[in-house]
Amino acid sequence: MKYVVTGGAGFIGSHIVGALVKHGQEVVVIDDFSTGKQENLNDLESKIKIVEGSIENLDLLQSLFKGVDFVLHQAALPSVPRSIKNPLRSNNVNITGTLNVLLAARDNGVKRLVYASSSSVYGNQEDHQYKVEDMNPCPLSPYALTKFAAEKYCQFFYEFYGLETVILRYFNVFGPRQDPNSEYSAVIPKFINAALQGEEVTVFGDGSQSRDFTYVENNVQANLLACKAPGEKVAGKVFNVACGATASLNELIRVIEKISGFSLKRQFFPPRVGDVKFSLADIRRAQENLGYEVGINFEEGLKRTVAWYKELLR
Ligand code: UD1
Protein backbone atom coordinates (compact mmCIF):
# COMPACT_ATOMS: atom_id res chain seq x y z
CA MET A 1 0.00 0.00 0.00
CA LYS A 2 1.10 3.56 -0.64
CA TYR A 3 0.92 6.07 2.22
CA VAL A 4 1.42 9.81 2.38
CA VAL A 5 2.34 11.18 5.80
CA THR A 6 1.91 14.94 5.93
CA GLY A 7 4.23 16.41 8.56
CA GLY A 8 6.19 13.17 8.29
CA ALA A 9 9.44 14.82 9.42
CA GLY A 10 7.82 16.06 12.61
CA PHE A 11 7.83 14.49 16.04
CA ILE A 12 4.71 12.32 15.70
CA GLY A 13 4.85 11.97 11.91
CA SER A 14 8.37 10.55 11.91
CA HIS A 15 7.39 7.83 14.40
CA ILE A 16 4.48 6.87 12.13
CA VAL A 17 6.79 6.79 9.10
CA GLY A 18 9.17 4.49 10.98
CA ALA A 19 6.36 2.06 11.78
CA LEU A 20 5.06 2.05 8.19
CA VAL A 21 8.52 1.32 6.81
CA LYS A 22 8.90 -1.51 9.33
CA HIS A 23 5.64 -2.95 7.97
CA GLY A 24 7.02 -2.81 4.42
CA GLN A 25 4.77 -0.03 3.17
CA GLU A 26 5.61 2.55 0.51
CA VAL A 27 5.81 5.99 2.14
CA VAL A 28 5.88 9.55 0.84
CA VAL A 29 6.57 12.31 3.35
CA ILE A 30 5.54 15.88 2.75
CA ASP A 31 6.94 18.42 5.19
CA ASP A 32 7.80 22.10 4.98
CA PHE A 33 10.45 21.67 7.72
CA SER A 34 9.05 24.60 9.68
CA THR A 35 8.95 22.45 12.81
CA GLY A 36 9.89 19.09 11.27
CA LYS A 37 13.54 18.07 10.99
CA GLN A 38 15.47 16.09 8.41
CA GLU A 39 17.34 14.32 11.21
CA ASN A 40 14.07 12.76 12.45
CA LEU A 41 14.13 10.66 9.26
CA ASN A 42 17.87 10.00 9.16
CA ASP A 43 17.65 6.20 9.36
CA LEU A 44 14.82 6.03 6.83
CA GLU A 45 15.93 8.37 4.06
CA SER A 46 16.87 5.62 1.63
CA LYS A 47 13.56 3.78 2.11
CA ILE A 48 11.08 6.62 1.60
CA LYS A 49 10.40 9.60 -0.63
CA ILE A 50 10.69 12.99 1.09
CA VAL A 51 9.13 16.04 -0.52
CA GLU A 52 9.80 19.48 0.90
CA GLY A 53 6.63 21.49 0.56
CA SER A 54 3.64 22.91 2.35
CA ILE A 55 0.08 21.65 2.68
CA GLU A 56 -0.84 25.21 1.71
CA ASN A 57 0.21 24.26 -1.85
CA LEU A 58 -2.80 22.46 -3.35
CA ASP A 59 -1.14 21.85 -6.74
CA LEU A 60 1.72 20.03 -5.06
CA LEU A 61 -0.69 17.85 -3.08
CA GLN A 62 -2.70 17.05 -6.23
CA SER A 63 0.42 15.75 -7.94
CA LEU A 64 1.70 13.84 -4.88
CA PHE A 65 -1.53 12.01 -4.08
CA LYS A 66 -1.69 10.12 -7.41
CA GLY A 67 -1.98 6.38 -6.71
CA VAL A 68 -1.99 6.90 -2.94
CA ASP A 69 -4.10 4.57 -0.76
CA PHE A 70 -3.88 6.23 2.67
CA VAL A 71 -3.13 9.75 3.86
CA LEU A 72 -2.08 10.18 7.48
CA HIS A 73 -2.48 13.90 7.99
CA GLN A 74 -0.16 15.01 10.82
CA ALA A 75 1.01 18.36 9.46
CA ALA A 76 -0.12 21.28 11.59
CA LEU A 77 1.15 24.27 13.52
CA PRO A 78 0.83 23.15 17.13
CA SER A 79 0.75 25.25 20.32
CA VAL A 80 -2.03 27.18 21.97
CA PRO A 81 0.18 30.24 22.73
CA ARG A 82 1.47 30.36 19.14
CA SER A 83 -2.10 30.46 17.85
CA ILE A 84 -2.94 33.32 20.20
CA LYS A 85 0.08 35.26 18.98
CA ASN A 86 -0.60 34.59 15.29
CA PRO A 87 -4.11 33.22 14.71
CA LEU A 88 -4.05 33.79 10.94
CA ARG A 89 -0.98 31.59 10.47
CA SER A 90 -2.53 28.78 12.56
CA ASN A 91 -5.76 29.17 10.60
CA ASN A 92 -3.99 29.00 7.22
CA VAL A 93 -1.99 25.89 8.02
CA ASN A 94 -4.44 23.99 10.19
CA ILE A 95 -7.73 24.76 8.44
CA THR A 96 -6.93 25.78 4.85
CA GLY A 97 -4.04 23.30 4.76
CA THR A 98 -6.34 20.48 5.88
CA LEU A 99 -8.95 21.52 3.32
CA ASN A 100 -6.26 21.25 0.62
CA VAL A 101 -5.27 17.79 1.87
CA LEU A 102 -8.91 16.69 1.77
CA LEU A 103 -9.46 18.08 -1.74
CA ALA A 104 -6.38 16.34 -3.11
CA ALA A 105 -7.38 13.08 -1.36
CA ARG A 106 -10.88 13.29 -2.79
CA ASP A 107 -9.75 14.13 -6.33
CA ASN A 108 -7.18 11.30 -6.38
CA GLY A 109 -9.47 8.58 -5.03
CA VAL A 110 -7.56 8.05 -1.77
CA LYS A 111 -9.09 5.13 0.18
CA ARG A 112 -8.93 6.72 3.61
CA LEU A 113 -7.58 9.81 5.36
CA VAL A 114 -6.68 9.81 9.05
CA TYR A 115 -6.67 13.23 10.67
CA ALA A 116 -4.60 14.13 13.74
CA SER A 117 -6.90 16.26 15.87
CA SER A 118 -6.47 17.39 19.44
CA SER A 119 -8.00 17.08 22.89
CA SER A 120 -7.99 20.87 22.99
CA VAL A 121 -11.27 20.71 21.03
CA TYR A 122 -13.05 19.80 24.30
CA GLY A 123 -11.88 22.84 26.26
CA ASN A 124 -13.18 22.88 29.84
CA GLN A 125 -16.20 20.66 30.35
CA GLU A 126 -18.08 21.48 33.55
CA ASP A 127 -18.87 18.59 35.87
CA HIS A 128 -17.18 16.05 33.64
CA GLN A 129 -13.87 14.47 34.41
CA TYR A 130 -13.69 12.10 31.43
CA LYS A 131 -13.80 13.66 27.97
CA VAL A 132 -16.14 11.68 25.76
CA GLU A 133 -16.29 12.09 21.99
CA ASP A 134 -19.92 13.14 21.83
CA MET A 135 -19.53 16.06 24.26
CA ASN A 136 -20.09 19.50 22.80
CA PRO A 137 -16.76 20.98 21.74
CA CYS A 138 -15.67 24.10 23.59
CA PRO A 139 -12.49 25.45 21.98
CA LEU A 140 -10.68 27.96 24.23
CA SER A 141 -8.02 29.10 21.75
CA PRO A 142 -7.54 29.69 18.02
CA TYR A 143 -5.50 26.46 17.94
CA ALA A 144 -8.38 24.43 19.39
CA LEU A 145 -10.81 26.12 17.00
CA THR A 146 -8.64 25.29 13.97
CA LYS A 147 -8.53 21.64 15.03
CA PHE A 148 -12.30 21.55 15.47
CA ALA A 149 -12.97 23.26 12.12
CA ALA A 150 -10.67 20.78 10.37
CA GLU A 151 -12.48 17.88 12.06
CA LYS A 152 -15.75 19.19 10.65
CA TYR A 153 -14.24 19.43 7.16
CA CYS A 154 -13.15 15.79 7.48
CA GLN A 155 -16.70 14.80 8.38
CA PHE A 156 -18.19 16.87 5.55
CA PHE A 157 -15.87 15.19 3.05
CA TYR A 158 -17.17 11.78 4.13
CA GLU A 159 -20.77 12.97 4.10
CA PHE A 160 -20.68 14.90 0.79
CA TYR A 161 -18.06 13.07 -1.27
CA GLY A 162 -17.74 9.63 0.34
CA LEU A 163 -14.04 10.12 1.21
CA GLU A 164 -13.47 7.92 4.27
CA THR A 165 -12.01 10.06 7.03
CA VAL A 166 -11.10 9.01 10.57
CA ILE A 167 -10.51 11.66 13.23
CA LEU A 168 -8.11 10.89 16.06
CA ARG A 169 -8.14 13.30 18.99
CA TYR A 170 -4.63 13.12 20.42
CA PHE A 171 -4.17 13.95 24.11
CA ASN A 172 -0.83 15.64 24.97
CA VAL A 173 1.56 13.40 23.07
CA PHE A 174 5.17 13.03 24.24
CA GLY A 175 8.23 10.94 23.47
CA PRO A 176 11.64 10.96 21.77
CA ARG A 177 12.32 13.67 19.14
CA GLN A 178 9.93 16.22 20.60
CA ASP A 179 11.68 19.58 20.46
CA PRO A 180 12.51 20.95 23.95
CA ASN A 181 14.02 24.22 22.76
CA SER A 182 11.29 26.28 21.12
CA GLU A 183 9.31 28.90 23.02
CA TYR A 184 6.29 26.84 21.92
CA SER A 185 7.63 23.46 23.07
CA ALA A 186 5.34 21.17 25.03
CA VAL A 187 5.78 20.84 28.76
CA ILE A 188 7.33 17.34 28.97
CA PRO A 189 10.38 17.90 26.72
CA LYS A 190 10.91 21.30 28.34
CA PHE A 191 10.83 19.91 31.88
CA ILE A 192 12.97 16.83 31.13
CA ASN A 193 15.57 18.98 29.41
CA ALA A 194 15.62 21.41 32.32
CA ALA A 195 15.98 18.57 34.84
CA LEU A 196 18.92 17.07 32.96
CA GLN A 197 20.65 20.44 32.56
CA GLY A 198 19.96 21.80 36.05
CA GLU A 199 17.79 24.63 34.74
CA GLU A 200 14.73 26.19 36.32
CA VAL A 201 11.25 25.54 34.91
CA THR A 202 8.25 27.81 34.64
CA VAL A 203 4.94 26.50 35.93
CA PHE A 204 1.92 28.41 34.63
CA GLY A 205 -0.69 28.37 37.39
CA ASP A 206 -0.35 26.35 40.58
CA GLY A 207 0.56 23.09 38.81
CA SER A 208 -2.76 21.45 39.65
CA GLN A 209 -3.88 21.42 35.99
CA SER A 210 -3.85 17.88 34.64
CA ARG A 211 -3.26 16.14 31.33
CA ASP A 212 -3.76 12.66 29.88
CA PHE A 213 -0.12 12.49 28.75
CA THR A 214 0.21 9.94 25.94
CA TYR A 215 3.40 8.23 24.80
CA VAL A 216 3.79 8.59 21.02
CA GLU A 217 3.79 4.86 20.25
CA ASN A 218 0.15 4.75 21.26
CA ASN A 219 -0.61 7.33 18.58
CA VAL A 220 1.33 5.34 16.00
CA GLN A 221 -0.71 2.27 16.85
CA ALA A 222 -3.98 4.24 16.57
CA ASN A 223 -3.06 5.49 13.10
CA LEU A 224 -2.27 2.01 11.80
CA LEU A 225 -5.51 0.65 13.27
CA ALA A 226 -7.51 3.53 11.80
CA CYS A 227 -6.37 2.48 8.32
CA LYS A 228 -7.45 -1.12 8.82
CA ALA A 229 -10.74 -0.86 10.73
CA PRO A 230 -13.95 -1.50 8.78
CA GLY A 231 -15.31 1.68 7.19
CA GLU A 232 -18.76 1.31 8.74
CA LYS A 233 -17.21 1.45 12.22
CA VAL A 234 -14.86 4.39 11.77
CA ALA A 235 -15.56 6.56 8.72
CA GLY A 236 -16.56 10.12 9.63
CA LYS A 237 -16.07 9.37 13.32
CA VAL A 238 -14.00 10.89 16.13
CA PHE A 239 -11.84 8.79 18.49
CA ASN A 240 -9.90 9.81 21.59
CA VAL A 241 -6.33 8.53 21.57
CA ALA A 242 -4.89 8.64 25.08
CA CYS A 243 -4.15 6.52 28.12
CA GLY A 244 -7.36 7.13 30.06
CA ALA A 245 -5.26 8.31 33.02
CA THR A 246 -4.32 11.74 34.20
CA ALA A 247 -1.44 13.48 35.97
CA SER A 248 -1.18 17.03 37.26
CA LEU A 249 1.85 19.14 36.39
CA ASN A 250 3.02 18.79 40.00
CA GLU A 251 2.81 14.99 39.65
CA LEU A 252 4.64 15.17 36.34
CA ILE A 253 7.47 17.06 38.03
CA ARG A 254 7.68 14.45 40.82
CA VAL A 255 7.85 11.57 38.32
CA ILE A 256 10.50 13.33 36.19
CA GLU A 257 12.58 13.91 39.34
CA LYS A 258 12.23 10.26 40.35
CA ILE A 259 13.17 8.90 36.92
CA SER A 260 15.97 11.34 36.09
CA GLY A 261 17.45 11.48 39.58
CA PHE A 262 17.61 15.30 39.39
CA SER A 263 15.45 17.79 41.25
CA LEU A 264 13.62 20.51 39.35
CA LYS A 265 13.74 24.11 40.45
CA ARG A 266 10.50 25.84 39.58
CA GLN A 267 9.03 29.30 39.34
CA PHE A 268 5.29 29.89 39.35
CA PHE A 269 3.61 32.30 36.92
CA PRO A 270 -0.07 33.11 36.29
CA PRO A 271 -2.00 30.54 34.20
CA ARG A 272 -1.61 30.76 30.43
CA VAL A 273 -4.43 32.35 28.43
CA GLY A 274 -6.50 29.71 26.62
CA ASP A 275 -5.22 26.92 28.90
CA VAL A 276 -7.43 23.92 29.64
CA LYS A 277 -7.69 23.01 33.33
CA PHE A 278 -8.28 19.25 33.40
CA SER A 279 -7.82 16.70 30.65
CA LEU A 280 -8.66 13.02 30.86
CA ALA A 281 -9.90 10.83 28.01
CA ASP A 282 -12.55 8.18 27.85
CA ILE A 283 -10.88 5.75 25.43
CA ARG A 284 -13.62 3.14 25.18
CA ARG A 285 -14.76 4.15 21.70
CA ALA A 286 -11.27 3.61 20.27
CA GLN A 287 -10.93 0.33 22.14
CA GLU A 288 -14.26 -0.97 20.85
CA ASN A 289 -14.07 0.21 17.24
CA LEU A 290 -10.37 0.42 16.41
CA GLY A 291 -9.10 -2.35 18.68
CA TYR A 292 -6.87 0.27 20.32
CA GLU A 293 -5.13 -0.58 23.60
CA VAL A 294 -2.71 1.46 25.67
CA GLY A 295 0.63 -0.08 24.73
CA ILE A 296 2.92 2.13 26.84
CA ASN A 297 1.59 3.95 29.89
CA PHE A 298 2.60 7.38 31.20
CA GLU A 299 5.39 6.29 33.55
CA GLU A 300 6.96 3.76 31.19
CA GLY A 301 6.74 6.35 28.40
CA LEU A 302 8.47 8.93 30.59
CA LYS A 303 11.26 6.45 31.42
CA ARG A 304 11.90 5.88 27.72
CA THR A 305 11.73 9.58 26.97
CA VAL A 306 14.13 10.59 29.76
CA ALA A 307 16.53 7.87 28.58
CA TRP A 308 16.37 9.28 25.04
CA TYR A 309 17.12 12.88 26.12
CA LYS A 310 19.95 11.66 28.36
CA GLU A 311 21.50 9.89 25.38
CA LEU A 312 21.03 12.98 23.21
CA LEU A 313 22.82 15.20 25.72
CA ARG A 314 25.80 12.86 26.03
C1 UD1 B 1 -2.69 21.38 23.89
C2 UD1 B 1 -3.62 20.18 23.75
C3 UD1 B 1 -2.90 19.02 23.09
C4 UD1 B 1 -2.24 19.49 21.80
C5 UD1 B 1 -1.30 20.65 22.08
C6 UD1 B 1 -0.64 21.18 20.82
C7 UD1 B 1 -5.17 20.34 25.65
C8 UD1 B 1 -5.64 19.74 26.91
N9 UD1 B 1 -4.12 19.76 25.05
O10 UD1 B 1 -1.68 21.03 24.78
O11 UD1 B 1 -3.83 17.99 22.81
O12 UD1 B 1 -1.56 18.45 21.23
O13 UD1 B 1 -2.06 21.70 22.66
O14 UD1 B 1 0.21 22.20 21.10
O15 UD1 B 1 -5.71 21.29 25.15
N16 UD1 B 1 3.14 24.57 30.93
C17 UD1 B 1 3.90 25.07 31.98
N18 UD1 B 1 5.18 25.44 31.71
C19 UD1 B 1 5.74 25.34 30.48
C20 UD1 B 1 4.96 24.82 29.42
C21 UD1 B 1 3.66 24.46 29.68
O22 UD1 B 1 3.42 25.19 33.12
O23 UD1 B 1 6.90 25.71 30.32
C24 UD1 B 1 1.75 24.12 31.21
C25 UD1 B 1 0.71 24.75 30.30
O26 UD1 B 1 0.26 25.98 30.79
C27 UD1 B 1 -0.36 23.65 30.33
C28 UD1 B 1 0.43 22.35 30.48
O29 UD1 B 1 1.71 22.73 30.98
O30 UD1 B 1 -1.19 23.81 31.45
C31 UD1 B 1 0.62 21.62 29.17
O32 UD1 B 1 1.08 22.53 28.20
P33 UD1 B 1 1.57 22.08 26.74
O34 UD1 B 1 2.52 20.97 26.87
O35 UD1 B 1 1.99 23.30 26.01
O36 UD1 B 1 0.30 21.46 26.09
P37 UD1 B 1 -1.28 21.91 26.04
O38 UD1 B 1 -1.40 23.36 25.74
O39 UD1 B 1 -1.98 21.34 27.22
pLDDT tens digits along 206-217: 999 999 999 999
Which residue out of 125, 128, 199, 211 has the highest number of ligand 1 atoms within 8 Å of its CB and is therefore the one to mutate?
Answer: 211
The protein residue with its alpha carbon nearest to ligand 1, atom 2, reads 120
Cα–ligand 1 centroid distance for 232 (angstroms): 34
pLDDT at 127 over 90: no
Atom index in ligand 1 nearest the CA of residue 118 equals 11
pLDDT at 57 over 70: yes
Q: Looking at 8-17, 73-82, 127-136, 226-235, which range is the least confident one?
A: 127-136
For the CA atoms of 145, 146, 152, 156, what is the dihedral angle to 10 degrees? 150
Domains and CATH numbers, the chain: 2-174+215-243+280-295 (3.40.50.720)
Cβ of 281 closer than 6 Å to ligand 1, yes or no, is no
Write down the pLDDT at residue 211. 97
Atom index in ligand 1 nearest the CA of residue 201 equals 23
Write down the pLDDT at residue 100. 99
Residues with catalytic roles: 143
Write down the pLDDT at residue 129. 82
Helix (H) or strand (E) run with residue 72 in it: strand 70-73
Closest Cα partner for 248 from 204, 306, 184? Answer: 204
Q: Average of pLDDT values for 127-145?
A: 93
Write down the pLDDT at residue 223. 98
Helix (H) or strand (E) run with residue 112 in it: strand 112-118
Cβ of 171 closer than 6 Å to ligand 1, yes or no, is yes
DSSP secondary structure string, 15-39?
HHHHHHHHTT-EEEEEE--SS--GG
pLDDT at 20 over 70: yes
Q: Residue 128 — pLDDT band, cuts 50, 70, 90? A: low
Write down the pLDDT at residue 126. 77
**Comparison of pLDDT for 314 and 241, the residue scoring more:** 241
Write down the pLDDT at residue 158. 98
CA distance 259 to 168: 30
Q: Average of pLDDT values for 37-43?
A: 95
CA distance 313 to 3: 33
Closest Cα partner for 35 from 61, 65, 58, 6? Answer: 6
Closest Cα partner for 302 from 251, 266, 264? Answer: 251
CA distance 64 to 293: 33
Cα–ligand 1 centroid distance for 187 (angstroms): 6
Cβ of 174 closer than 6 Å to ligand 1, yes or no, is no
pLDDT at 19 over 90: yes
Cβ of 50 closer than 6 Å to ligand 1, yes or no, is no
Q: Average of pLDDT values for 157-169?
A: 98
Residue 59, CA distances (Å) to 63, 91, 160, 265 in order = 6, 19, 22, 50
